[in-house]
Structure 1
Amino acid sequence: MTDEQHLSHLSKVEIYCQILLGILRYTNLKTYPTEEEHKKQLTKKLKFQNAHDFDLYRACIDQMEDAQYAINEFIENGLYINENRQGEMYLRLYGVLNACYLQTGVMIDLVRLFNFQNQKEIREELKKLDAIDLRNKIASHTTNYRDENNYSSYFKVAQSSLDKKANRILVVKRDEEANYINLLDYVIEFTKTIELYLDQIIDKELYSRTFKKESFVWMKSRHDYIKNRS
C-alpha cells in the first residue's frame, strides 16, 4: 500500500494527528543522557510553559485521535449498523456527542500549549457550536441545563424520533417547546471547525521549525494531501 492509499483511509483529523505527533518526534534536539533531560529540552524547544506540558501534548494527540474514531463511526453508520436497537442508538447518540466534547477540551489545551493570541475567542466559539450545546442539553446537564442567562431548564429526546440517519431528532424542552435537529449536520459542522484550528496549529508550528529533510517532507506531504483533498 502506498502512502497516499494509506492516507485515503484516514479522516483529516487523523492525518492532522499524525503531523502533530511528527512535530513532537522530529523536533531537532541534541543528544541527552536521560529521558528526563530529553523531555526538558523538548519542552523548551516547543516553547511550552510547564514541565508537564510535554505529556499533556502527547495525551492531546491520543485523545483527539481516539475521539475521532467514534465520530467517524457515527458519520459512516449513524445510530446503528444493521438492526434498529434502542440501546445501541442511545450509546451512539451519547457517545458521539461526548466525543465532540472531548475534542473541544483537547483543542482548548492545544491552543494554550502553542500560545495562540485569541484563546478566549476560540474557547467561546467551540462552546457555542451546536454539537456542544446539544451535548449539554441531552447528554450531560439534561435535567439541570442553564443557558447563557443562567436560566434553568431541562430537556429530553423523543425516543420515537431516533433512527439510523439521526437527521430529525426531536428534542423537547421543559415548557413543551420542541425542535427537530439534524445530528449529522451538527457533527459535520463541529468537525470542520476542529479541522480549521488543527490546520492553524500546523501552519504555525510545522513551517516555523527546523526538521531533518526527510521528516519535514513526510509531514508536509500529509499537510499537502489534506489541502488537496475535497
Structure 2
Amino acid sequence: MQRLGQCVVHHLIGRYIVFGVQRLEIDEIMALIRAIIFDHSCNVENDNDLFAIVSVNTSDAYNSIMDSFYLLEDTQLAKHSFLERNSSLSIGELYLYFYGVLNAVYMQQQALLVLLRKMGIEFELSELQGCTIFDIRNSFAAHSANRGGKKVKEHSFVLNRRALRQGKLKGYSANHESGFLSHDTDVSTLISEWDKVISKYLESIVNMVKENYEATI
C-alpha cells in the first residue's frame, strides 16, 4: 500500500532542487525533517520501529534526538524575533533580545552536537565551537563578570548599552591581561556566520533521515 505522506515528502524535497543542488534554509530543512519523521511514525507498528529513521537503537537516544529537533525549532523563533525586533524597544527590552538570541544560538550549538553524535555523523568540533558569536556570548551574555579560564587570567567586560540600538554588541575589558580588550560587532552578522555552519550540518542530517526513510519504502 502506498504511503499517504510519501508524495508530500517528495514534493518538499523537489521544491528545493536548483540546478541539481539541494538549497534549503534552516526552517525549510527542519520542516522537511519533521515531515519525513512524521510520515514514518504513521507507518510503523510499534515504537521500536521509530528509531531507525534517525539511525539509533534505543528509546533514550530517539527521545534525545527529537527533543533536540524541538529545541532547534524553538530557538529559530527566538532568532527570527530578534532580527524582526521593533526599533522603539526600551534599553531593558533590548538587553532581553540580545541576551536571548546569544543564548538561543548557544542552545542550537548544543542541540546540534547531540544530533550529530547520536546519529553518528562526522563533524569538526572546532568549526561548531569556533564561530565568533560564542566568544561574544561568553564575554557579554554569560561570563561578563568572570571571563577567563585555566589558561587565561580572569577579567571582566562592560557593555555599551547605546550600541544595542544599532544592533551591535560593543564593549571592553579594562583588566584583561593584555591591558585592554574590546569588541565591536554586528549581531546579525554573527548570526549569519553561525547559520552557514548549522545549515551545512542540518543538510547532512536531513540526507541521512531521507536515506533511512527511503530504505523503509
- TM category (shorter chain) comes to 0.7 to 0.9
Cα separation, 1, equivalents of 2:186 and 2:81:
17
Cα separation, 2, equivalents of 1:131 and 1:148:
21
Residues 1-230 of structure 1 aligned to structure 2 (within 5 Å): 12-27=25-40, 31-32=44-45, 38-44=46-52, 46-77=54-85, 81-118=86-123, 121=124, 123-146=125-148, 149-163=151-165, 165-167=166-168, 169-175=169-175, 176-210=180-214
In the TM superposition, residue 24 of structure 1 has moved relative to its aligned partner by 2.0
Cα separation, 1, equivalents of 2:184 and 2:32:
38
Larger RCO: Structure 1 or Structure 2 (Cα < 8 Å, ≥ 6 residues apart)?
A: 1
Cα separation, 2, equivalents of 1:189 and 1:148:
28
1:27 alignment partner, SS class: helix
TM-score, L = length of structure 2: 0.77
Please say if residues 12 and 195 of structure 1, whose CA atoms lie closer than 8 Å, have aligned partners that are also in contact: yes
1:134-170 CA distance string (max 9 Å, x none) = 111111111122268343222121123221x414x32
Runs of 4+ in 1 over 6 A off after TM superposition: none
In the TM superposition, residue 69 of structure 1 has moved relative to its aligned partner by 0.7
Tell me what 1:216 maps to: none
Aligned length: 194
In the TM superposition, residue 179 of structure 1 has moved relative to its aligned partner by 2.7
Please say if residues 49 and 113 of structure 1, whose CA atoms lie closer than 8 Å, have aligned partners that are also in contact: no
In the TM superposition, residue 44 of structure 1 has moved relative to its aligned partner by 4.3
- Provide structure 1 residue ranges, at least 5 long, that are not aligned to the other structure: 33-37, 214-230
2:184 alignment partner, SS class: strand
Please say if residues 103 and 141 of structure 2, whose CA atoms lie closer than 8 Å, have aligned partners that are also in contact: yes
| Identity rate, percent | 20
